[in-house]
Every structure is written in C-alpha cells, then in structure tokens.
Amino acid sequence: MNWSSHEFIWLDWAVLAIGLLGVVWAVYRAIVKDKKAQQGEDSSAYLFGKGEPWYVIGMAIFAANIGSEHLVGLAGTGAKDGVGMAHWEMQGWMILILGWLFVPFYQLMINKMGKIITMPDFLKMRYTQRTGSCLSIITLIAYVLTKVSVTAFTGGIFFKFLLGIPFWYGAIGLIAITAVFTVFGGMKGVMTLSTIQTPILIVGSFLVLFLGLSALGDGSIVAGWMTMKSVCDAAHDGFGTTHMFHTDPADPMYPQFPGYVVFLGASIIGFWYWCTDQHIVQRVLGQVPGEDNAAVMKRARRGTIAAGFFKILPCFMFLIPGMIAYALSLKAGSGIEMDITNHESTDGAFAMMVKNILPAGIKGIVTIGFVCALVASLAAFFNSCATLFTEDFWKPLHPGKSEEHYVFVGRTATVVVVLLGLAWMPIMMNMGNLYSYLQDIQSLIAPAMVAVFTLGIFSKKITPKAGEWGLIGGFLIGMVRLVTNVITDSGKATMDGAFWANTEWFWQTNWLIFECWLLVFIIIMMVCVSFFTAAPTKAQVDAITFTSDFKKSIKESWGAFDIIGTLIVVGLCACFYWYFW
C-alpha cells in the first residue's frame, strides 16, 4: 500500500464511510435521548436548544462560523492574497463583545418578554413591529445571498478537488443531505454535530499546516515557514502578501484593501455578524426553565470566551495552509498545481493540500471532520431561517397551534430556503472572486444593523421611527449598490447615460470606504429623524434599562476566569497583528 499516495485510496474511502455512519448514529442517539427527555416535540428546543454547557456553546459558535467558505474561500484567498483577509478572521476579540455587552441586554429582553427571543423580537420591542419584521426579511435575504448559496458553491468546489466529484453533484448533494439533517435534527442535531466535528476539524487542519510546512521545508517545519514567508514576500510584484495593511498605492492589493480603513470595515462586518446576527446569537440564547439570570449569562459569556479562543485558529487552519499551497505549487514534485490568476484554481488550495500532503487513512479521518463542518455550518443557517420564519411570522399569525405544527412549519421553511439558495447560485457564480463577493455583500448589509442595534441599546433618545428609517433606508441603499456592482462588475466597468451622470462616487467608491460612509450616513439620519418623531415609550426605555437586581446578576455572572480568559484572547489577537503588520 502506498501510504503517501496523492489520491484517495480504498482505505480512505473505508474510513470515511465508517466514520460518517458513526457520526449519524451519535447524532441520532442524541436526538432520541433529547426527545424522550422533552416527552415529545418542543419548538423552542428544536429551534434554540436548551441550556448547553459553555464549552458546547463555544464549539457551536465556532462550528456555525466555520463552513466551506473557509475550507475553500479562506484558503483560496490565502493562496492568492496572503494574510490580507485575516482581518475578518482574527476577530476573537469581537466575539467577546457579544458575551460581555450584548448577552446581558438580550437576557433582559428575555425576562421582559417571558420567552427566548430572536433578533427581530428585540427590534420589535425597542422600535416598531415593522422594524422587527423588516429585519426578518433582510436576514432571510442575507442568508440566501451569503450563506446557503456560498456554502453550497464552495462545498461543490471542495468535493471536486478532493474527491473528484463533479461540482454540481457535490453542491446539490451537500444541500440535500444538510436539509434532511436539519429537518429531523433541529438545534440539538446541530449542537451534537458541532461537538463531534470541532476537534476533528482543528486537529486535521493543523496536520495539514504542519505536514505542509514540513514538505515545503524538506522535513523541517521551521525551514518550511521561512520558505513560505520568502515566497509570499516576493509575490504581488514584490510587495508581498505577508502583511495585513497595504498602505502603498502602488501595491496591487491597495485598490481592494486601502490602508488602515480595512480594519474599520472588517470590524463593522464583524460587529454585525458576531453580536446581532441570528445565526450566531441563537447559539447563546438557550436556557433551562427557571434558571437564574447570573447562571445564564455566565454560561453564555464563557461560551463566547471559548469561541474567542477558537476563532483565532482559522488563520492557521485555512488561510496560512493556502499560502503554503501557493509556495508548494512552485516546488517540483509537490503534486500541487496552481494558477493564482484563476479563482477556481486557488479555491481548490485546501482540498489539494489534504489530497497531496496527508497520508492514506488520515485523509479519510480528516475528511469526516470537513464533511461534518460543511453540514453543521449549512444546517445552522437553515435552522436560523426556520427560527426567524416560525417565531416572527407564523406564530403571530397563527397563535395557539400545537408544538408539532410549529416544528412542521419550521421544517417547511427550511426546504424553501434550500430552493432559494439553489436558484441564486448560478447568479452568484458570475460575480467574481468568492470570498470578496461574500464580504462585499456583508459590507452592504452590516452598516444598517450596526447603527440600529447600537443606537437602540445605548441611546434612550433614538425614536422608534428612527430605527425603522435607519434599518429600511440603510438596507435599500445597500441593495442599490449591489445592483450597480452586478452591472459594473464591482465598479470595474462604467455606466453610461443621463441617469447615471455624476454618480461614479456611488458605484466606483472602494467597498470598504463605502461601507464606512454608509454607517455614518445611517447614524446621522437616525439622529435627525429622532428630532421630528415621537419619543420611545416608557416600556421601550425600560426594555434597555438595567434594574439594580439585574445589575447585581451581571456582576455575579463573571469572575477571575472570565477576565483572564478575555485578556488572553485579546492578547493573542494583538500578537497576530504585531507579527503580520
């Protein structure tokens, strides 16, 4: 047997098949056990889960974030642009804001409403019914544009380069398997799968990292690292891809990531994603009936601290292996062939690393973790969509139905999201680089979310109508910009005609700069609208006002462990920035 084969051999296929059967069995047992404990269907448990331990919450947050866009897109951008996209991944510090700042507010809202909340629930309470409903619509649109279609597309690429499965078979197969899993597994299935796949994914990715460096350095990991740095320093006409800030206008990466504004732009997207996106926040909202506030917040905060540690890893798990793949492609006999001018070629970087670097048998084990990661990430999107539709649309229109009815509605919503994601994929595939497309779309959605949630929490003077105007107006401006991006290939082409005269500032402005100015505009608009519209009611102000008892619960929810863990996460992020500055 050729243990160093550059192909999937019978041993890998056997390990993969047996391993996946074992995963299915473990998830099935967890679901059956959970249903017996509940004595039947429970829509709350199906959609949110109940009181998972802090380390499970941390792994679930991490797993919900890690999907095929990382296995394919992040590794691909590492091969092409080095650490330029690391700003979006080195955000363990941002997750801490969820645990320390937003969780207490969300828990306060849960107490006020007497039930687990969704993000639209929060806006309905703070602003208006229309604001919350619009957030549900915007979130569902965003999931179709940035989650389902992207994950399915990159899954197809991954399976194509690793297993030789035709692209559409892999993409549609991934969606079909995940849809079935989500329909029958619910949040308990997602949590269980996350717990299984996280350690496999981490260990497997670091095997790729270290064995890749060893192959590049002819047996020496240190030599491999130095070689990778040397090769990547010479890339991009000598400007290099080993630094996170590109301040020279002559740098080929400057037009995409101009100077230090990249950090601010990435932070806006990160703030929306980690602190206000239903897909992530849903992981920390589950609680045991009758549990006190301090215990809930302690578990949620420690879960976010754990997730903060995990979030430091993707740069080493995917992005740097992409850089290693680029360096290996220049080395004879590595088995890796890459053309950095071809997006599909660079997107296959991580799959090529698994295929050519890992020994037989280990390929199969690592692939189990990757398949679980794809399914868990996509299932988390489906589950969040089912939650939003059921909690924010169906239940208010059809109150008093059975729990089985609401679970069925959530499952039906999942199927609809699947079909919409498939319908959008062909359009998305014609919109350029995958990872850039993903962040570009998010940059158009994030400013409105950040403005509405931040001002809604920190200012009692922002009026309900101001929140409504900010959310709807900001989203519509972003969607107009998206249309111009499609027409002009993200500003590369021009638009002629009297209608478009003197509008170049709108559709040619760099995407990060546009994002920052859009946020400023929305904030100013909300402040101005607040001067001319009715003030929030006492109930709306009380919804964001901590009582003395609640402040005491917050204080009791943290201790030395929380502070030390938080400081370590922040310190590790700072060290990464220092090294790759």
pLDDT digits (tens, 9 = 90+) for 456-474: 988 899 999 999 999 999 9
Whether the predicted pLDDT of 138 surpasses 90: no
Burial of 166 (0-12, 13-18, 19+ CB in 10 A): exposed
Domain ranges of the chain: 10-429
Span of 195-209, 310-324, 372-386, 555-569 with lowest mean pLDDT = 372-386
Is pLDDT of 183 > 60?
Answer: yes
Residue with tokens 């990466």: 253
Q: What is the pLDDT of residue 87?
A: 92
DSSP 544: T
What's the rounded mean pLDDT across residues 479-485?
84
Q: Residue 238, CB half-sphere, CA atoms under 13 Å: how many?
A: 1
* Nearest-angstrom CA–CA distance, 135 and 509: 27
The residues with which 246 forms a beta bridge, in sequence order, are 258
Instruction: At 237, give phi and psi (nearest 5°).
Output: 60, 30
pLDDT at 502 over 70: no
Please enumerate in sequence order all residues whose Cβ is within 8 A of that of 461, keeping only pairs 6 or more positions apart, or say none. Answer: 530, 535
Fold of 10-429: Sodium/glucose cotransporter (1.20.1730)
Q: What b-and-e string marks burial along 511-547, b requiring 16 or more CB atoms within 10 Å of the CB?
A: bbebbbebbebbbebbbebbeeeeebeeebeebbeee
* pLDDT tens, position by position, 237-275: 888 889 899 888 888 888 888 989 999 999 999 999 899
Closest CA to 130 of 455, 471, 456, 398: 471
CA dihedral 73, 89, 376, 210 (to 10 degrees): 80
pLDDT tens-digit map of 126-135: 999 889 888 8
User: Is the model's pLDDT at 563 over the cut of 90?
Assistant: yes
Supply φ then ψ for residue 564, to 5 degrees.
-65, -45
The pLDDT, as a whole number, for residue 47 is 45
Give one DSSP letter per residue of 481-523, joined into a string: HHHHHHHHTTTTS---SGGGTT-HHHHSS-HHHHHHHHHHHHH
Calculate the CA 13 to chain-centre distance: 30
For residue 529, what are its two tokens?
């609208």
For residue 251, give both structure tokens: 């740098």
Q: What is the pLDDT of residue 498?
A: 59
Which of 6-10, 148-152, 389-393 shows the lowest per-residue confidence on average (mean pLDDT)?
6-10
Q: What pLDDT sits at residue 276? A: 87
- The larger pLDDT score, comparing residue 201 to residue 253, is at 253
Of 437, 424, 449, 442, nearest to 523 by C-alpha is 449
Check residue 341 and give left, alpha or beta (phi > 0: left; psi -120 to 50: alpha): alpha
Q: What is the mean pLDDT of residues 51-79?
A: 78
pLDDT of residue 269: 92
Query: CA–CA separation, 552 vs 428, rounded Å?
Result: 49
pLDDT for position 133: 83
Give the C-alpha separation, 374 to 147, whole Å. Answer: 11
Highest mean pLDDT: which of 199-208, 362-371, 533-542?
533-542
Count of alpha carbons within 13 angstroms of residue 250, beta-carbon side: 3
pLDDT tens figures, 228-245: 999 998 888 888 889 899
Angle at 117 between CA 115 and CA 119, to 5 degrees: 170
Q: Which pLDDT score is estimated for 46? A: 47
Structure-block tokens of residue 114: 């007497």
Q: What is residue 336's three-state secondary structure?
A: coil
Q: Shortest CA distance to 86 belongs to which of 274, 257, 251? A: 257
Amino acid at the residue 419:
L
Q: How far apart are CA 421 and CA 327, in angstroms?
A: 35
| Mean model confidence pLDDT for the chain | 82
Q: How confident is the model at residue 450 (pLDDT cuts 50, 70, 90)?
A: very high
Average of pLDDT values for 33-58?
62
Q: Say what the pLDDT of residue 497 is.
A: 62
Q: What is residue 246's three-state secondary structure?
A: strand
pLDDT digits (tens, 9 = 90+) for 406-449: 878 877 777 777 787 778 777 777 665 666 777 788 899 999 99
DSSP string, 110-166: HHHHTS---HHHHHHHHS-HHHHHHHHHHHHHHHIIIIIHHHHHHHHHHHHHHH---
Report the candidate in 294, 365, 314 with the shortest Cα–Cα distance to residue 65. Answer: 314
The answer on pLDDT for 290 being more than 70 is no
Chain-centre distance of CA 287, in angstroms? 23
pLDDT digit string, tens, across residues 507-557 = 778 889 999 999 999 999 999 999 999 999 988 888 888 888 888 888 888
pLDDT at 465: 95
pLDDT surpassing 80 at residue 151: no
Average pLDDT rounded to a whole number, residues 363-382 = 77
Amino acid at 445: I
